[in-house]
């Protein structure tokens, strides 16, 4: 019997719970789960699909007879223009067609919902990477998760010029991002302001701050708390990095552990964090795929002009 990819049905509950007596890992990692072992359980994902339309999540399963072979779910990022896969489970060992079918289907679902791109972050060496690549997802960004215990009594004064981000700061932050991120990253994350804004990820319950210098924005700090774990990330000019990292550590000083997801193009941030005792905990690759294809419009032919001469 050939596996079939489709949306989730209530009758899949039993299969989601049992999985033939095994628990298969969720291979997708979102930014708001970095540093933890938590991942959405397939049963939780299914319930959200059926019972909470406000989540805006798409979920697809692959079944073969009564057996569940795989599950993929996706959610919006900053807006409906950008989606990310937050759950990717392959229970069909040795059958690469299952994930291929699910990834194609979830991409189509995101496209029908207005998405222009869909993203997925995988840990280094993830079994799903080959299937993701076969489905036209392009690896465009390498990231390392650095973590360190928070040490009581550190000098963590907030730098002058740090303030809460305002709505008017968004476009200047986009300009700051353009100045720092390489072109090959911006090509996937957003060449326009609307695309970039749509692709923004959450750290969890995120607080945003900016560092202002001489009337302009020199840095951006995002912070979130998750139990005993504090997450933050920074984007800034070279001269502002020390102050941004110090501010990030100050904002998570009430947590036990601090985590920072550092993209490969921010080597200066990595070096500063390592000098503070941060160590690499995990490595990730983020893939992206367009949900629509650009089609060249047919060339319009100008109508012939008829000239009539009346004698």
Distance between CA 49 and CA 44 in Å, rounded?
9
What's the pLDDT at 24? 73
Residue 310, pLDDT > 50, answer no
What's the pLDDT at 82? 96
Residue 75's pLDDT band (cuts 50, 70, 90)? very high
Q: Is residue 14 part of a domain?
A: yes
Q: How much of the chain, in percent, has pLDDT values that exceed 70?
A: 76
What average pLDDT score do residues 235-255 get?
95
Chain Cα centroid distance, residue 118: 9
Q: Is residue 302 part of a domain?
A: no
Q: Are residues 97 and 226 in the same domain?
A: no
Tally of domains in the chain: 2
Residue 61's pLDDT band (cuts 50, 70, 90)? confident
What's the pLDDT at 17? 44
Residue 155's pLDDT band (cuts 50, 70, 90)? low
Q: Is residue 304 part of a domain?
A: no
Residue 92 tokens read as 């069909």
Distance between CA 170 and CA 95 in Å, rounded?
45
Residue 116's pLDDT band (cuts 50, 70, 90)? very high
What's the pLDDT at 311? 41
Q: Are residues 119 and 170 in the same domain?
A: no
Residue 33, pLDDT > 60, answer yes
Q: Is residue 301 part of a domain?
A: no
Residue 301 tokens read as 């032919």
Q: Are residues 8 and 77 in the same domain?
A: yes
Neighbours of 213 (CB within 10 A): 16
Q: Are residues 128 and 163 in the same domain?
A: no
Residue 274, pLDDT > 90, answer yes
The residues with which 82 forms a beta bridge, in sequence order, are 117
Task: Match 């020199």 to its residue by tokens.
Answer: 218
Taking only the tens place, the pLDDT of each residue in 295-309 is 455 566 555 444 444
Give the range of the structural domain holding residue 159, as residue numbers without chain letter: 146-285
pTM: 0.83
CATH number of the domain enclosing 126: 3.40.630.30
Distance between CA 270 and CA 250 in Å, rounded?
18
Can you state the angle between helices 241-251 and 267-275, rounded to 10 degrees?
60
Taking only the tens place, the pLDDT of each residue in 81-114 is 999 999 898 877 766 688 888 999 999 999 999 9
Q: For residue 174, report the phi and psi dihedrals to the nearest 5 degrees.
A: -60, -40
Q: Is residue 305 part of a domain?
A: no
Residue 53's pLDDT band (cuts 50, 70, 90)? very low
The residues with which 209 forms a beta bridge, in sequence order, are 164, 221
Residue 23, pLDDT > 90, answer no
Residue 34, pLDDT > 50, answer yes
Neighbours of 30 (CB within 10 A): 22
What average pLDDT score do residues 157-183 get?
95
Q: Are residues 74 and 175 in the same domain?
A: no
Distance between CA 36 and CA 229 in Å, rounded?
8
Between 270 and 46, name the one with better pLDDT.
Answer: 270
Q: How much of the chain, in percent, has pLDDT values that exceed 90?
A: 60
Distance between CA 69 and CA 42 in Å, rounded?
12
Q: Is residue 188 part of a domain?
A: yes
Q: Are residues 9 and 127 in the same domain?
A: yes
Residue 244 tokens read as 């941004």
What's the pLDDT at 250? 94
What's the pLDDT at 156? 75
Residue 297 DSSP SS3: coil
What's the pLDDT at 91? 77
Residue 26's pLDDT band (cuts 50, 70, 90)? confident
């Amino acid at each position: 019997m050939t596996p079939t990819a489709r949306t989730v049905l209530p009758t899949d509950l039993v299969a989601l719970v049992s999985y033939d007596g095994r628990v298969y890992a969720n291979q997708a990692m979102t930014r708001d789960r970095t540093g933890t072992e938590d991942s959405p359980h397939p049963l939780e994902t299914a319930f959200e699909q059926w019972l909470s339309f406000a989540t805006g999540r798409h979920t697809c399963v692959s079944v073969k007879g009564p057996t569940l072979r795989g599950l993929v779910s996706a959610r919006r990022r900053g807006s409906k223009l950008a989606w990310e896969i937050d759950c990717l489970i392959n229970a069909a060992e040795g059958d690469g067609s299952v994930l291929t079918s699910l990834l194609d289907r979830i991409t189509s679902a995101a496209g029908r919902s207005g998405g222009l791109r869909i993203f997925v972050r995988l840990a280094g060496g993830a079994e799903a990477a080959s299937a993701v690549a076969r489905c036209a997802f392009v690896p465009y960004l390498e990231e390392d998760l650095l973590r360190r215990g928070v040490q009581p009594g550190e000098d963590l004064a907030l730098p002058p010029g740090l303030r809460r981000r305002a709505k008017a700061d968004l476009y200047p932050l986009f300009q700051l991002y353009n100045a720092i991120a390489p072109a090959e990253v911006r090509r996937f994350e957003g060449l326009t302001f609307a695309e970039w804004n749509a692709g923004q990820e959450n750290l969890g319950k995120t607080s945003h701050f900016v560092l202002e210098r001489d009337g302009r924005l020199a840095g951006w700090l995002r912070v979130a708390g998750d139990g005993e774990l504090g997450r933050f990330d920074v984007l800034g000019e070279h001269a502002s990095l020390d102050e941004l990292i110090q501010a990030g550590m100050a904002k998570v000083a009430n947590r036990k552990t601090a985590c920072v997801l550092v993209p490969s193009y921010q080597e200066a941030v990595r070096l500063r964090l390592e000098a503070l005792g941060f160590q690499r905990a995990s490595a990730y690759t983020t893939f992206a795929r367009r949900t629509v294809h650009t089609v060249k419009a047919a060339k319009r032919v100008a109508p012939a002009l008829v000239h009539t001469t009346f004698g």
